Chain A
Amino acid sequence: MSYAVGDALPPFVVESASPEAMKAWAVFLADPNPIHLDVEVVKAKGLGDRVINQGPMNVAFMMNMLMAAFPGATIEAMDSRFLDNVYGGDKVTAQGAITAVEGNRISCEFTLDVAGRGAVNSGTATLLV
């Protein structure tokens, strides 16, 4: 498989951010922050009217996009910036492009976008292919 600067990475799509997954991640992260679990708490804090996805799950969506784009590759480094929240029910798409190819090292930039609201995360990564 050959890669070139500018190649688009196939999008990774989550049709609907799942409140059930947020409950599972509260256990994975040992973090029972109620903004991920209880709509009433989100409303009371003035943060919206749906539960909020844990930030690390957003990073996992972007990692899934990278791993699908480069089968068998490993992530060497990754940086993620958190720009906004993903809410329960949001349609989420991770997508990006190759920015550098140096031997077996591929650099990429990418975003996680919510339908109708734009980028909620952005990031860069290098992978060893």
Chain B
Amino acid sequence: MSELAFPPAPNVAGTSLDGTKIFTISLEENAALCRSTGVEPASDGSAHPIYYYIATQVAMGKTVAGVCETCEFDVEEGPMMGSSGVKFTEQLMVGESYKVTGEILSLVRKQSRKLGLMDVLTYRLRLHRQADGTCILETDNVWVLPRKELAA
């Protein structure tokens, strides 16, 4: 059955994900995170670069469940990560505080041979240094939202 047989995905492009929380990378948490992945924390004050994902997810304007709800998708149905990309202009630093801006770029309904009917969600987040507002990274994340209930 083609996608045309199903209702279109909700029109959520442009939904703001600007955050109000301030995310600070603590010395203790960075050390614990590094060790949980099998490495020691850097000695130059830089944080593990995976904080690009953690900081933006934790400090964006909606929770993961909230983003799913915006897309009319129940988080209990199991959203899946499709891809994640990041471009850094500066390193993340321990002790630095950051805030997030961002938006949903698209939600596209597709038929997949492997996963069946699904919505592909793409959203963009930017991490800004709290002290001066400088944007230090931009990340695009793609999530797959299986739409089993529509295909039933």
Contact = CB atoms under 8 A, between A and B. Distances in A.
Indicate, yes or no, whether A interacts with B: yes
Interface of A: 12, 14, 18, 21, 24-25, 28-31, 35, 45, 47, 55-57, 59-61, 63-64, 67-68, 74-82
B36 A74 contact: no
Interface in B80-115: 80-88, 91
A61 B37 CA distance: 6
Interface string B34-57: 001111000000001110011001
Contacts of B29: 28
Interface of B: 29, 32-33, 36-39, 48-50, 53-54, 57-58, 63-64, 78, 80-88, 91
A29 B78 contact: no
B54 A81 contact: no
A21 B84 contact: no
Contacts of A82: 80-84
Most buried by A among B38, B80, B87, B88: B38
A77 B32 contact: no
Contact of B86 (A30, A55, A77): A77
Given A35-B78, A56-B50, A77 B57 contact: no
Nearest to A61: B37
A64 B39 contact: yes
Contacts of A24: 32-33, 36
Question: Which 10 A-B residue pairs are closest in the complex by CB-CB distance?
Answer: A60-B50, A79-B85, A55-B81, A21-B36, A56-B53, A82-B81, A77-B87, A60-B37, A81-B83, A30-B58
20 contacts: A14-B38, A24-B33, A35-B78, A47-B78, A55-B84, A56-B57, A59-B50, A60-B33, A60-B50, A64-B38, A67-B39, A68-B39, A74-B88, A75-B49, A75-B86, A75-B88, A77-B86, A78-B49, A79-B86, A80-B84
A78 B80 CA distance: 19
B29 to A, nearest CB: 7
Nearest to B84: A80
Contact of B78 (A45, A61, A79): A45
Given A28-B29, A59-B50, A64 B86 contact: no
A78 B87 CA distance: 7
Contacts of A45: 78
B54 A28 contact: yes
A93 to B, nearest CB: 12
Contacts of B83: 79-82
Given A63-B49, A77-B85, A77-B86, A29 B39 contact: no
B32 to A, nearest CB: 6
